[in-house]
Amino acid sequence: MINKKVVTLNEFIIEEQKGFPYATGELSSLLRDIVFAAKLVNREVNKAGLVDILGTTGSSNVHGEEVKKLDVFAHEQFVNSLRTSGECCGVASEESPDFLSFDNERAKNAKYVVCIDPLDGSSNIDVNVSIGTIFSILERKTISGPCVLEDFLQAGFRQVAAGYVVYGAATLLVYTTGDGVNGFTLDPSIGEFCLSHPDIKIPEKGKIYSINESYRARFADSVNQFVDYCKVEDKASNRPYSCRYIGSMVADFHRNLLKGGIFMYPAMSTHPNGKLRLLYECNPMAFIIEQAGGLATSGEQRIMEISPQELHQRTPIFIGSKEMVYKVVEYINQEKLVGSVNGVSH
Ligand code: AHM
Ligand code: MG
């Protein structure tokens, strides 16, 4: 049997850095700090089933310590790791209404800010179904001193790195620094992420569509027409496509990235901007999908070109295999055209 050399994430990051002769190592170091926190979160996620034995959240455990909700725990791990990293001057987290600015001397002059959803897929946390962490790294706009809101409010095409961790049957980390997408599986026996999915490319033609169809009555007609199109029997285009929806963006996205498909969280009559957040859910996934050869749009424009106005801004999203995204946009544009002809706007 050929004994293939295992490439650990650390080795990979160092190799990748060598490709940039002027790299200072700050980004590599920041990535490692995020990965370290992810390992701590992973350990806790794996123990989640034991809460009934060790104490329910909000109560005290056998050690007399308060048992924290997992999403709060995850937020604290990432923030602590980034605060002490020295490479990050502030964090915007789904778990915090305002961004956090780090005031220690090294952090104040650090080059990067991080936007993060520490534990996404909240409805799945208590039921042992895959959840994830999503992160986006931006170079700050200000030069030094405490970070400000404008450092975070940058369009997605300015991201220098983005990634996610899926805590599933195995724990995987997928990330990009703008030079392709690579995936690493955590080997729990050695505590290292090892390269398992080099240079990921999403198939151009997918066969999976992921959407919460229970909101059908709230979607635009064009979205429903696309979903109906996915269900039509047609040998030539391999339809009907399969519907798969876990309700954890990271898990749904990850499956579609590897197998080919589209994930949608559209605008709804009740939520005109959909549900998902631009800075730490949609932008990082859009960066990854484009690097893997796919597309991400709000239906109106490329996700990574949206100019953010607020930290927790939401946007509708259609993301995945090129052909499927083109198709749904075709329906959306058709609806707009008909609307403008009839003097109705959607
Ligand atoms: P959360 O940040 O509260 O976990 O919500 C985000 C999650 C996504 O992971 C998932 O795609 C979506 O919410 C599912 O929402 P819904 O239950 O409305 O389909
Ligand atoms: Mg979330």
> Scanning the structure block, which residue is given the tokens 């961790």?
165
Say if residue 171's pLDDT is above 90: yes
Q: CA-CA distance, 226 to 338, in Å (whole number)?
A: 16
**Residue 29 burial by CB count (10 A; 0-12/13-18/19+): exposed, middle or buried?**
middle
The reported pLDDT for the residue numbered 62 is 54
Mean per-residue pLDDT, 247-253: 98
Taking CA atoms only, the protein residue closest to ligand 1 atom 7 is: 121
Question: What is the CB neighbour count within 10 angstroms for residue 190?
Answer: 10
Same domain, 38 and 185: yes
Same domain, 142 and 243: no
Mean per-residue pLDDT, 307-336: 97
Closest CA to 213 of 226, 200, 196, 232: 226
Mean per-residue pLDDT, 310-326: 98
Say if residue 345's pLDDT is above 90: no
What percent of the chain is modeled with pLDDT above 70? 91
Whole-angstrom Cα Rg for the chain: 21
Same domain, 261 and 212: yes
Question: Which ligand 1 atom is nearest residue 120's CA?
Answer: 4
- Indicate the pLDDT class of residue 3, thresholds 50, 70 and 90: low
- Site to probe by mutation for ligand 1, drawn from 123, 165, 268 as the one with most ligand atoms within 8 Å of Cβ, is 123
Largest CA distance in the chain: 69
Same domain, 237 and 291: yes
| Domain endpoint, select from 197, 227, 253 | 197
Tokens of 322: 């090129």
In a domain, residue 239? The reply is: yes
Closest CA to 123 of 244, 216, 37, 246: 246
In a domain, residue 202? The reply is: no
- Ligand 1, CB cutoff 6 Å, lining residues: 94, 120-123, 212, 247-249, 275
* H/E element, 82: helix 70-85
In a domain, residue 2? The reply is: no
Domain that holds residue 335: 208-341
**CA triplet 303, 307, 309: central angle to 5 degrees?**
120
The reported pLDDT for the residue numbered 241 is 98
Tokens of 298: 């709000």
The reported pLDDT for the residue numbered 330 is 98
The reported pLDDT for the residue numbered 342 is 72
In a domain, residue 36? The reply is: yes
Q: Who has greater pLDDT, 113 or 337?
A: 113
Question: How many domains does the chain contain in total?
Answer: 2
CATH no. for residue 138? 3.30.540.10
What residues are neighbours of ligand 2 (ion), with CB under 5 Å? Answer: 117, 120
What percent of the chain is modeled with pLDDT above 90? 79
